[in-house]
């Protein structure tokens, strides 16, 4: 596209389209939007020009729409604010669908804005014209297609923009994506005229209150009745609330906190259990530690072992989520509460009449200490890099304030099972739809959100997920972020080696359909984008490699492993934990 006319240029022709777009952007700035991700295209020109005309907005240009959607997702995931992602019409708009689905499932705010042709160009063979109405189906909190801008409708423009932000951040079902499909007629380049008047105080056109239930003393007392038992556990997932409030409740009750890495609650506290998956694989210990009540805060952890143990426990379970999402896959919750988990934990801690017995807390603490020691012992005995060792070493290398984005498949499990405690490190993952697409792009968005703070971002990803999102590397060095990309490279889909398919199928058929070796030299892929690859040859070199990569800029750390050996080391770890656990 040739150098467009600046919409603020007084010599440009004033158009209704440019004025409409400038009004939307002005309203988004008033509502607190700080970032926009733009993929180049012609039909989206009016809004692209309006976005770059506002110095309050950081505009990130990305050549690939699919990656751009996940960059916007990462920005929303890291900040809680919706980022605008803008595409032109046609298949460019379709490319946003995976990121929109993840934002919907994970409750991440996003403003997905697709440009479109005007109605007269439909059904006549016009180029790059597809049906974009409700393109993302039920995966959005709100959809609007206001049609080509007209001066007669100018009184609705600010409301449209403000509502889009409110629906993205404050929808009754929780934050999520909003889709605006905007039709533009030519000319696509023009100047904005006077904007419709906004609120005099600079506020957005609309504001709204939250939908959550307030936790008053009476409500907390009812919860305390439901949770009245010595043998209780707190399961803290993503969105569990303030970590301090969670561990304060644990201290007051004497209950352990089975903390998912994304909860932020893996603090150095006696009540925190970071190795629940390994502990609960040992049947005598799992039986001995069966609870009577369970308080579930936020999203569920990835561990199927933990989920199965909870489902089979027969315990009375209370599930709390700030956004009212229904996290109850096993249908075992006795009470589901749409409330602020921090407020719930704080209120319950005040009402506890007596903590649980020291024996209950002590058994969990002893199991956690034994499991942690066993994991350290096994990993120390391996001179070669291992996948659990890479997860544990990466978390150990990250200082408080850093962000770690973890891919689905094995990386998120290795971080959950073997990452240990990591106070102050924020862990993010696309666990809405649990896909492996867009992981590196999500990390780029998170790194952009931290740009200039001095806090690095790292991403732990498998080789298949890395290749799936290789376009995330486009222009990455020019984004001036501190991002360490740690790729576990076992030449294929390592997680399938843990599934029944690995034993049920002949080796050749398994490799064809599931192992899927790709044979790609990832260092060459990185080099094509100007990135340096660090490849530790031994486990002892991993900490040094991570330290060098985390010093600043963008680096790729490639950890080579073997899929069969990875299964074996996981089995070794689980056996070592089982042997180390105190007698039930």
**pLDDT value at residue 224:** 85
At 228 the pLDDT is 85
DSSP category for residue 194 = P
Residue 150, pLDDT > 80, answer yes
Q: Give the model confidence (pLDDT) of 201-253 as tens digits.
A: 899 998 876 556 667 777 778 888 888 888 999 999 999 999 999 999 999 99
pLDDT score for 4? 33
Based on its alpha-carbon atoms, the radius of gyration of the chain, rounded to whole angstroms, reads 25
Q: Confidence band (pLDDT; 50, 70, 90) for 1? A: very low
Q: Determine the average pLDDT of the residues in 34-55.
A: 97
Predicted pLDDT at 460: 98
* Predicted local confidence at residue 512, as pLDDT: 93
Cα(571)–Cα(565) distance, integer angstroms = 10
Residues of the chain with pLDDT > 70, as a percent, come to: 96
- Mean pLDDT confidence for 138-147: 97
Q: Is the pLDDT of residue 10 over 80?
A: no
Name residues whose C-beta falls within 8 Å of residue 388's C-beta, 6 or more positions apart in sequence: 375, 379, 414, 417, 418, 569, 570, 573
Structure confidence at residue 2 (pLDDT): 26
Tens-digit pLDDT profile for residues 373-391: 999 999 999 999 999 999 9
DSSP 38-86: E---STTHHHHHHHHT-TTSEEEE-S-HHHHHHHHHHHHHHHSSPEEEE
User: pLDDT class for 279, splitting at 50, 70, 90?
Assistant: very high
Query: Does residue 25 surpass a pLDDT of 70?
Result: yes
Say whether pLDDT at 49 is over 70.
yes
Check residue 329 and give its pLDDT. 87
Q: What are phi and psi of 15, to 5 degrees?
A: -130, 155
Tell me if 227 sits within 8 A of 316, measured CB to CB: yes
Confidence of residue 534 (pLDDT cuts 50, 70, 90): very high
Coil, helix or strand at residue 211: coil
- Judged against a pLDDT cut of 50, whether residue 7 lies above it is answered with no
Q: pLDDT digit string (tens) for 445-478?
A: 999 999 989 999 999 999 999 999 999 999 999 9
| Per-residue model confidence (pLDDT) at position 37 | 98
Res 337: pLDDT: 87
pLDDT band at 353 (very low <50, low <70, confident <90, very high): low
Per-residue pLDDT at 36 exceeds 60: yes
| Neighbouring residues of 325: CB distance < 8 A, sequence distance ≥ 6 | 107, 173, 174, 299
Say what percent of the chain tops pLDDT 90: 83
pLDDT, the chain, mean: 93
Q: Structure pTM?
A: 0.92
Q: What is the pLDDT of residues 63-106, one digit of tens each?
A: 999 999 999 999 999 999 999 999 999 999 999 999 999 999 99
The predicted structure's pLDDT at residue 223: 84
Q: Are 389 and 561 in contact (CB under 8 A)?
A: no
**Full strand arrangement of the beta sheet holding 83-87:** 58-61, 35-38, 83-87, 110-116, 177-183, 142-144
Kindly tell me the burial class for residue 59, based on how many C-beta atoms sit within 10 Å of its own C-beta (0-12, 13-18, 19 or more).
middle
The stretch 252-280 carries a mean pLDDT of 96
What average pLDDT score do residues 257-280 get? 96
């Amino acid at each position: 596209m040739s150098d467009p006319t600046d919409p603020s240029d007084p010599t440009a022709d004033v158009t209704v389209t440019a004025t409409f777009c400038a009004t939307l952007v002005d309203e988004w700035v008033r509502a607190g939007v700080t970032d926009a991700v733009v993929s180049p295209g012609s039909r989206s020109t009016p809004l692209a020009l309006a976005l770059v005309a506002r110095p309050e907005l950081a505009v990130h240009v990305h050549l690939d729409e699919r990656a751009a959607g996940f960059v916007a997702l990462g920005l929303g995931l890291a900040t809680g604010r919706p980022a605008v992602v803008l595409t032109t019409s046609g298949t460019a708009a379709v490319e946003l669908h995976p990121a929109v689905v993840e934002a919907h499932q994970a409750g991440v705010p996003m403003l997905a804005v697709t440009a479109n042709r005007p109605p007269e160009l439909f059904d006549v063979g016009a180029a790059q014209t597809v049906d974009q109405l409700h393109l993302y189906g039920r995966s959005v909190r709100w959809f609007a297609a206001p049609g080509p801008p007209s001066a007669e409708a100018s009184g609705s423009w600010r409301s449209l923009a403000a509502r889009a932000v409110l629906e993205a951040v404050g929808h009754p079902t929780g934050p999520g994506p909003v889709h605006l499909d905007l039709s533009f007629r030519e000319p696509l380049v023009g100047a904005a005229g006077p904007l419709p008047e906004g609120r005099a105080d600079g506020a957005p056109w609309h504001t709204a209150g939250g939908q959550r239930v307030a936790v008053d003393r009476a409500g907390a007392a009812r919860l305390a009745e439901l949770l009245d038992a010595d043998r209780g556990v707190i399961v803290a997932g993503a969105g569990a609330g303030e970590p301090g409030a969670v561990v304060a409740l644990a201290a007051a009750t004497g209950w352990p906190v089975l903390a998912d890495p994304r909860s932020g609650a893996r603090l150095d506290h006696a009540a925190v259990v970071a190795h629940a998956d390994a502990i609960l694989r040992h049947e005598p210990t799992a039986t001995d530690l069966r609870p009577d009540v369970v308080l579930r805060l936020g999203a569920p952890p990835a561990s199927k072992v933990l989920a199965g143990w909870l489902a089979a426990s027969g315990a009375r379970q209370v599930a709390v989520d700030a956004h009212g999402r229904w996290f109850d896959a096993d249908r075992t919750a006795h009470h589901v509460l749409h409330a602020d988990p921090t407020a719930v934990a704080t209120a319950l801690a005040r009402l506890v009449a007596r903590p649980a017995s020291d024996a209950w807390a002590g058994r969990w603490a002893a199991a956690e200490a034994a499991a942690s020691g066993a994991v350290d012992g096994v990993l120390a005995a391996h001179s070669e890099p291992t996948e659990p060792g890479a997860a544990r070493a990466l978390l150990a290398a990250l200082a408080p304030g850093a962000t770690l984005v973890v891919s689905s498949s094995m990386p998120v499990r290795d971080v959950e099972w073997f990452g240990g405690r990591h106070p102050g490190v924020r862990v993010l993952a696309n666990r809405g739809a649990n896909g492996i697409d867009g992981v590196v792009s999500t990390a780029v968005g998170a790194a952009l959100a931290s740009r200039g703070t001095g806090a690095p971002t790292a991403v732990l990803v498998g080789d298949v997920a890395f290749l799936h999102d290789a376009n995330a590397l486009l222009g990455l060095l020019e984004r001036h972020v501190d991002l360490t990309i740690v790729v576990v490279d076992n030449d294929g889909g390592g997680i399938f080696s843990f599934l029944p398919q690995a034993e049920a199928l002949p080796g050749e058929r398994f490799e064809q359909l599931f192992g899927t070796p790709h044979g790609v030299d990832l260092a060459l892929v990185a080099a094509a984008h100007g990135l340096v690859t660090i490849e530790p040859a031994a486990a002892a070199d991993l900490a040094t490699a991570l330290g060098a990569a985390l010093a600043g800029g963008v680096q790729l750390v490639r950890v080579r492993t073997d899929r069969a050996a990875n299964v074996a080391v996981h089995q070794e770890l689980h056996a070592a934990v089982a042997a180390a656990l105190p007698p039930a």
